[in-house]
Amino acid sequence: MKFLVIGKSEVRTLLPMGECIDVMSEALRGLARGEAVQPLRSVMRLPEKIGVLGMMPAFIGKPRSLGVKVISVFPGNVGTEFEPHQGAVLLFDPDHGQLRAVVDAGEITAIRTAAVSGVATRLLASQDASSLALLGSGTQARTHLEAMLLVRDIRRVRVWSLPLEQARQFAVRESARHGIPVEFRETAQAAADGADIICTVTSAKEPILFGDWISAGAHINAVGSSNPLARELDTAAVVKSRLYVDRKESVLNEAGDFLFPKKEGAVDETHILGEIGDLLVGRIEGRRSREEITLFKCLGLSIEDVASAHHVYRRALEKNVGTWADLTGESHGPS
């Protein structure tokens, strides 16, 4: 049984951010229409608490796709030679169950996470939003900058993270890459001050964005924390925002950014206005005024990984990219 192995550099070529934003929009629409199966992720935590192994299966009705992402998350890898997210998406034939492809999951995660934030920002940020704050300077900061530039006319970017030198280097590198000024800031508050869009993309366990810092009219993408015991936003930031999520069930089980304020009695489940898919199909309303603050809490969904892998697989077949292998251990060049 032959299957196609698609590596990191190939994923990057076959899944450009603009295409991924469109793929994510359609996947989230399908979820809202009941055309997908989206279980909660299964997570095994290592005894040393240095990382976790996550397993995320999904089925999508349009286009018919079946798969599972198996990924390790080691936050301590940030700033080292190792990526914090490593693994593979296994893509199966949805009719007969054959393994079709093994696709690098780290690059898919990097791209599709930012693409989903791009979908949310396109729906919720003010149309004239032009300034961006990035709290974090790792892989997700890089891909979120790319996504934000595609969905809004961003003219000013500020970045903060720890260690500060990493943020300083990010500012220099990304300024050159995109041809726009990316300004380093020594505090998170200085980066967030007056920003129209704020993306929190850190591995922080305690809040790094506070409600008092957020300007009227801002949109926030809270991405970094997918742990019920960690959060990037304080309670005031959540309370003062209109909250949208990728999946309500996931947020109620996994999102410390929501669960801490809920435990404190500051919010309840009615504070979640709905899922981004609901916005896409017109089931709920989005931003109502220039002044209100909107918040998108993203945990990452397996339908996003499977939809991305399916797109990459189709493109790989079209372009004759990847390496064929089979379970006997033989490998074959592109065919």
Length of the chain: 335
pLDDT of residue 73: 85
Confidence bin at 1 (pLDDT 50/70/90):
confident
> With respect to CATH, is domain 2-109+302-332 assigned 3.30.1780.10?
yes
Please check the confidence at residue 260 and state whether its pLDDT lies above 90: yes
Please check the confidence at residue 151 and state whether its pLDDT lies above 60: yes
Average pLDDT for 308-332: 88
Containing 245, the helix (H) or strand (E) segment is strand 241-245
Q: Which residue in this structure is represented by tokens 């959540």?
A: 238
Beta carbons of 308 and 23 less than 8 angstroms apart: yes
Q: How far is CA 238 from CA 20, 113, 230, 255, in A?
A: 28, 21, 14, 12
Average pLDDT for 247-260: 94
Q: What are the backbone angles phi and psi of residue 73, rounded to the nearest 5°? A: -125, 115
pLDDT of residue 310: 98
Q: What is the DSSP string of 124-169?
A: HS-TT--EEEEE--SHHHHHHHHHHHHHS---EEEEE-SSHHHHHH
As a CATH number, domain 121-297 is 3.40.50.720
Beta-strand pair 65-73/241-245: unpaired
Domain ranges of the chain: 2-109+302-332, 121-297
Beta carbons of 123 and 69 less than 8 angstroms apart: no
Q: Which residue in this structure is represented by tokens 């030198």?
A: 165
- Per-residue model confidence as pLDDT tens digits over 264-319: 999 999 999 999 999 999 999 999 999 999 999 999 999 999 999 999 999 999 99
pLDDT of residue 41: 87
